[in-house]
A and B are shown apart, each in its own frame.
Chain A
Amino acid sequence: MKWRFSALGPLVLALCVFALPLHAQTSDTTKPVVRLRYDITQEMTFTGTVSSVVKETARETKKAGASHVIVQTTSGKVEADLGRYAMRGQGALTVTPGQSIQLTGVMKTVRGQQVVIARLVQANGKVYKIRNEHGFVYQPAARKNQTKSATKGGQL
């Protein structure tokens, strides 16, 4: 019988390994309070006129990256961070000084300066989705796909 065990043992073990159900451990650990990078409950809307546009920041400007637009509102000037892709590619946002604009975003302090992290921009009669509700910048491809379906989840 010994030979049978030596021959069958590895086979049985291998079968057992493949038979193991791959049960995932789900994330039910106690999580610390997460400071949201983009807290949608703090969103504000600003309406005004475009004062200036910085389409591409240069290293020398020492501004935080991405496109910026400065908007004159009734309560003063507001600078908005439009992210890396808003003004790039097909269907990109184009605004010029003097144009009406509406920004929806969260005010944050970046390098000591108050900046609106814009999620939505309304201009040219359109609403441009710049970021999602978690503050992640949409890639340019999203402009094509967002019009096709509301959401596909995270499916690749």
Chain B
Amino acid sequence: MRRATLWIVVLSACAMAVAGCGGSSHRVTITTAPSTLAAGASSNVVAVTSHDSSDQINWSCAPAGACGSFDPAQTPSGTASLYTAPTSAPSGGSVMITATSMDHSSRSDTVTVAITGVAAQNFVFSATGEENDEVGDIYSIAGVVAIALDGSGTVVGGEQDFNDGDGNTSPQPSGDTITGGSLVMAGDGSGNAILTLITNNANLGVGGTETFAVVFANANHALIVQFDGSATSSGSMDLQSATTAPVGSFAFTVSGTDGDGGLVDFGGVFAFDSSGNVTGFFDENDAGAVTTGTAVPAGATVSAPDSFGRGVASGTTGGDSSFNYYVVGPEVVRVINVDLTATALGSAYGQGTSAGTFSSGSIGASVFSVANSGDLYAGVGEFSTPVVAATVKRNTKSHIPQAGSPCSGADVSCSFSGVADVNELGGPLLPAQAFTGSFSISAVGNGFITVDGGDLGDIITLGVYAVDPTLNILDPNDTTDSTGGALIAEMDPNLVGTGSLIPQSSNIDPADFFGPYAFGAQGDTDAFDDEFDFIGAGTVDDTGAFSGVGALSDPFAALTDGGQDNAATFTGTAVADESNSGRFTIDPLTINANGDTEGLDVTVYEANASQFVWIQMDPDGYFSGSLEASTAFNADAAKRAQAKAKTKKH
């Protein structure tokens, strides 16, 4: 009897609840949708239901069969579906998107989306460097550009944020709108290109138009340099594979300047829940003052991204700091600070299913690269497979590995040894420095590398933040090359900078440095400590001869006689270091640009057959960057580049 009575009560309550919520007050409202979308482009759509948070939304559109698609076609209330526009504009030039309650099919909402006639792909770009203003401010830029897929290279839209923390910050919260522009590929098939972005912000670039020199390593990934003389910077541009909010654990690093005008870097691990709440911790180096393990302040949040995958992160590093983020893919996000008195740029990479299960064994033999053009230094190097160096540091109940065994276990201290090149402009210049050290990684994926032997100058302690072992840090859309590794951030009193650890292949060979590459670098010279940047495409032949053509941005005449030259040539011969496998020298790397010829002493380290990092090792200048195997380059272009280089040389 008691059970029967209880069922009656429960059923009555349910009936009343259903009646209460199923009345005329139940509504469906589309809260996020684009008003205009390029044919073939994708954008988030979100709808919410009132009174019934468990209700689902069914997505549909008209005209049927020519209106695009939804992924997924059914979502919980408040959850985004990725709408992809049809590949050509339908009759009438627009589609109607309808969100319908699954539980109350008479309840729906609609929006009309104008479809522009050109299918487009979105690319996320970001770069940091030196502004060519009165003071040479450090600045950051990040955004999304939609480029037509019809082969015209037309820029059909986009948005971005620019920030120098010194009076030139894109208006918030809107950012800048990219209203047009073009991507013009070089005619030689080298993968070089010029990207022009017309913005609605006359304070940027030249009268609101920004120009970037670009080199594609493949169809989904490029290195970029701002190239219009208004500023110079280096960064990357990657195909946007998702626009949904980040969820899960992410490792991140950012660097820039803070409100006091001092250099600052951060590194840490954040977790984003499905409501946009942020928890985690960060380490911080505020112009030499290091604090570690600071909890993310309560209340830190990220907003849902807009149709271009741009959202706002608030309160993540304390105070009233504001970051905007741009989604590259489900596990990769670029972040840019948009405070009026600070500037910073960085990335967050997902930790995937490894979140919470990292260990010191997560970091193996690696190539590292760390730099900061604001702090005028770079260091690159490699270290070998770690072995257990000491006892377990924290959890004494866990297994204690024997010294000399492969290193594994959370918080286990592992030793390593390696070789590196460090150039602190005006300070230590340290080629081929043997070094030793130790590190440990927690289950969360963070830890510290400490150099305790050899001389890496002021590089002593680095914060380490492990990423999803299936992610490619340099090229997030390519998982065929080396994956995994970690982001790193200086936690030294003498240096501020960020970089990455890329796993080093166990079978590297000098013969690997062969074939076509996209390359880029950012550097400074001691001519007033100003910056230069370059990108290019080139080849290395079986004799080690390196020959490339690209774009040099040198508005301050730091390296050459000054200016922007998109027919710069790069030649040299790579020589394998017989004492240090994976290390090469190019001395000189001859850069011919702006009517000037400069010979630079360069060192290259191999992470794997497709990914290399390099550093300039001259006392009056340095650069650092990467060389990435290119599928966007053809042999004919190589021959033309070589012929051009020879012509210029003689």
Interface residues of A (CB under 8 A from B): 16-18, 20, 22-27, 29-32, 34-38, 56-59, 62-66, 84-85, 88-90, 92, 110-111, 132-136, 138-146, 149, 151-156
Establish whether residues B260 and A138, one from each chain, have CB atoms under 8 Å apart when the complex forms: yes
CB proximity of A42 to chain B, nearest CB, Å: 14
Q: Does B636 contact A (CB under 8 A)?
A: no
Q: Bound state CA distance, A31 and B494, in angstroms? A: 14
The interface residues of chain B lying within 8 Å CB-to-CB of A30 are: 450, 452
The interface residues of chain A lying within 8 Å CB-to-CB of B289 are: 134, 154
Q: Bound state CA distance, A142 and B493, in angstroms? A: 20
Establish whether residues A135 and B494, one from each chain, have CB atoms under 8 Å apart when the complex forms: yes
Q: Bound state CA distance, A133 and B528, in angstroms? A: 22
Contacts A/B (CB < 8 Å), 5 sampled: A18-B273, A59-B557, A65-B529, A134-B287, A141-B166
Which of B166, B375, B440 is close to A140, meaning CB atoms less than 8 Å apart?
B166
CB proximity of B87 to chain A, nearest CB, Å: 35
CB proximity of A25 to chain B, nearest CB, Å: 4
Q: Bound state CA distance, A142 and B399, in angstroms? A: 50
Q: Bound state CA distance, A92 and B375, in angstroms? A: 20
Establish whether residues A20 and B356, one from each chain, have CB atoms under 8 Å apart when the complex forms: yes
Which of A23, A36, A85, A154 is close to B258, meaning CB atoms less than 8 Å apart?
A154
Residue from B279, B291, B494, B558 with most neighbouring chain A CB atoms (10 Å): B494
Q: State the main secondary structure of chain A at its contact with B.
A: loop
Q: Does B137 contact A (CB under 8 A)?
A: yes
Q: Does B262 contact A (CB under 8 A)?
A: yes
Establish whether residues A153 and B447, one from each chain, have CB atoms under 8 Å apart when the complex forms: no
Establish whether residues A27 and B448, one from each chain, have CB atoms under 8 Å apart when the complex forms: yes
Establish whether residues B494 and A65, one from each chain, have CB atoms under 8 Å apart when the complex forms: no
Of all chain B residues, the one with the shortest Cβ separation from A33 is B460
Of B176-184, B186-194, B335-343, the one touching chain A: B335-343
Establish whether residues B620 and A62, one from each chain, have CB atoms under 8 Å apart when the complex forms: yes
Q: Does B607 contact A (CB under 8 A)?
A: no
Q: Does B269 contact A (CB under 8 A)?
A: yes
Establish whether residues B341 and A140, one from each chain, have CB atoms under 8 Å apart when the complex forms: no
Say yes or no: A29-B260 contact (C-beta < 8 A), given A59-B525, A156-B344: no
Establish whether residues B438 and A138, one from each chain, have CB atoms under 8 Å apart when the complex forms: no
The interface residues of chain B lying within 8 Å CB-to-CB of A18 are: 248, 271, 273
The interface residues of chain B lying within 8 Å CB-to-CB of A24 are: 268-269, 281-283, 292-295, 442, 444, 446
Establish whether residues B528 and A85, one from each chain, have CB atoms under 8 Å apart when the complex forms: no
Q: Bound state CA distance, A63 and B269, in angstroms? A: 42
Q: Bound state CA distance, A63 and B526, in angstroms? A: 7
Known contacts A31-B450, A37-B494, A62-B620; can you find 19 more A-B pairs with CB under 8 A?
Answer: A18-B271, A25-B442, A27-B448, A57-B526, A59-B620, A66-B528, A111-B619, A133-B288, A136-B262, A139-B263, A141-B259, A141-B341, A142-B262, A145-B261, A146-B260, A151-B260, A154-B285, A156-B323, A156-B339
Closest 4 CB pairs of A and B: A142-B261, A134-B288, A154-B286, A24-B293
Establish whether residues A139 and B262, one from each chain, have CB atoms under 8 Å apart when the complex forms: yes
Say yes or no: A57-B288 contact (C-beta < 8 A), given A18-B271, A20-B356, A25-B293: no
Of all chain B residues, the one with the shortest Cβ separation from A54 is B528
B419-461 interface bits toward A, Cβ cutoff 8 Å, 1 = contact, 0 = none = 0000001110000000000101111101110111000001011
B328-356: which residues lie under 8 A (CB-CB) from chain A? 337, 339, 341-342, 344, 353, 355-356
Establish whether residues A25 and B411, one from each chain, have CB atoms under 8 Å apart when the complex forms: yes
Q: Bound state CA distance, A34 and B491, in angstroms? A: 12
Q: Bound state CA distance, A146 and B287, in angstroms? A: 15
Of all chain B residues, the one with the shortest Cβ separation from A134 is B288
CB proximity of A35 to chain B, nearest CB, Å: 8
Say yes or no: A65-B526 contact (C-beta < 8 A), given A22-B280, A25-B444, A140-B135: yes
The interface residues of chain A lying within 8 Å CB-to-CB of B527 are: 57-59, 65
Of all chain A residues, the one with the shortest Cβ separation from B290 is A27
The interface residues of chain A lying within 8 Å CB-to-CB of B249 are: 17, 22
Say yes or no: A152-B525 contact (C-beta < 8 A), given A25-B440, A134-B493: no
Residue from A65, A146, A149 with most neighbouring chain B CB atoms (10 Å): A65
Of all chain A residues, the one with the shortest Cβ separation from B394 is A25
Establish whether residues A155 and B261, one from each chain, have CB atoms under 8 Å apart when the complex forms: no
Which of B266, B270, B528 is close to A84, meaning CB atoms less than 8 Å apart?
B528
Establish whether residues B137 and A84, one from each chain, have CB atoms under 8 Å apart when the complex forms: no
Establish whether residues A88 and B135, one from each chain, have CB atoms under 8 Å apart when the complex forms: yes
Establish whether residues A136 and B496, one from each chain, have CB atoms under 8 Å apart when the complex forms: yes
CB proximity of B294 to chain A, nearest CB, Å: 8
Q: Bound state CA distance, A22 and B279, in angstroms? A: 8
CB proximity of A98 to chain B, nearest CB, Å: 25
Q: Bound state CA distance, A60 and B620, in angstroms? A: 11
The interface residues of chain A lying within 8 Å CB-to-CB of B138 are: 139
Establish whether residues A135 and B288, one from each chain, have CB atoms under 8 Å apart when the complex forms: yes
Establish whether residues B337 and A156, one from each chain, have CB atoms under 8 Å apart when the complex forms: yes
Q: Bound state CA distance, A107 and B135, in angstroms? A: 26
Residue from A26, A56, A63 with most neighbouring chain B CB atoms (10 Å): A26
Say yes or no: A155-B319 contact (C-beta < 8 A), given A24-B268, A64-B526: yes
Which of A34, A62, A84 is close to B494, meaning CB atoms less than 8 Å apart?
A34
CB proximity of B545 to chain A, nearest CB, Å: 28
Q: Bound state CA distance, A95 and B323, in angstroms? A: 39
The interface residues of chain B lying within 8 Å CB-to-CB of A136 are: 262-263, 287-288, 375, 496
Which of A16, A34, A64 is close to B493, meaning CB atoms less than 8 Å apart?
A34
CB proximity of A137 to chain B, nearest CB, Å: 8
B312-325 interface bits toward A, Cβ cutoff 8 Å, 1 = contact, 0 = none = 00000111110100
Q: Bound state CA distance, A122 and B492, in angstroms? A: 29
B250-280 interface bits toward A, Cβ cutoff 8 Å, 1 = contact, 0 = none = 0000101111111110101111010000011
Residue from A20, A89, A133, A139 with most neighbouring chain B CB atoms (10 Å): A139
Q: Does B550 contact A (CB under 8 A)?
A: no
Q: Does B136 contact A (CB under 8 A)?
A: yes
Which of B257, B268, B320, B411 is close to A141, meaning CB atoms less than 8 Å apart?
B257
Q: Does B158 contact A (CB under 8 A)?
A: no
Establish whether residues A155 and B317, one from each chain, have CB atoms under 8 Å apart when the complex forms: yes
The interface residues of chain B lying within 8 Å CB-to-CB of A26 are: 292-293
The interface residues of chain A lying within 8 Å CB-to-CB of B269 are: 22, 24
The interface residues of chain A lying within 8 Å CB-to-CB of B447 are: 25
The interface residues of chain A lying within 8 Å CB-to-CB of B135 are: 85, 88-89, 92, 139-140
Establish whether residues B136 and A88, one from each chain, have CB atoms under 8 Å apart when the complex forms: yes
Establish whether residues A56 and B528, one from each chain, have CB atoms under 8 Å apart when the complex forms: yes
Establish whether residues A65 and B262, one from each chain, have CB atoms under 8 Å apart when the complex forms: no
The interface residues of chain A lying within 8 Å CB-to-CB of B292 are: 24, 26-27
Say yes or no: A139-B446 contact (C-beta < 8 A), given A17-B249, A31-B461, A151-B260: no
CB proximity of A82 to chain B, nearest CB, Å: 11
The interface residues of chain A lying within 8 Å CB-to-CB of B496 are: 136
Q: Does B165 contact A (CB under 8 A)?
A: yes
The interface residues of chain B lying within 8 Å CB-to-CB of A38 are: 494
The interface residues of chain A lying within 8 Å CB-to-CB of B578 are: none
Q: Does B134 contact A (CB under 8 A)?
A: yes
Residue from A25, A88, A111, A135 with most neighbouring chain B CB atoms (10 Å): A25
Of all chain B residues, the one with the shortest Cβ separation from A151 is B260
